[in-house]
């Protein structure tokens, strides 16, 4: 398997591109989660255990 990776002959650009795409996606999702409104997280985490009362689930 490692011999196939070593003998790419110009195909390493695909490996580097896929790694960069993964890293950019991971960083963007991480930043999004840090900037997410904490009140929204609390409301969404409580949804599965709350009773069906629409007034309690609304955000301000």
Non-local CB neighbours of 39 within 8 Å, separated by 6+ positions: 59, 60
Mean pLDDT lowest for which of 1-5, 24-28, 55-59?
55-59
The mean per-residue pLDDT over the stretch 20-24 comes to: 96
Residue ranges per structural domain of the chain: 2-57
CB 39 within 8 A of CB 60: yes
Residue, of 57 and 43, whose pLDDT is higher: 43
Band the pLDDT of 4: cuts 50, 70, 90: low
């Amino acid at each position: 398997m490692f011999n196939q990776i070593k003998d790419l002959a110009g195909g390493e650009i695909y490996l580097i591109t896929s790694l960069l795409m993964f890293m950019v996606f991971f960083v963007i999702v991480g930043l999004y989660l840090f900037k997410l409104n904490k009140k929204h997280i609390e409301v969404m985490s409580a949804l599965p255990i709350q009773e069906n009362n629409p007034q309690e689930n609304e955000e301000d």
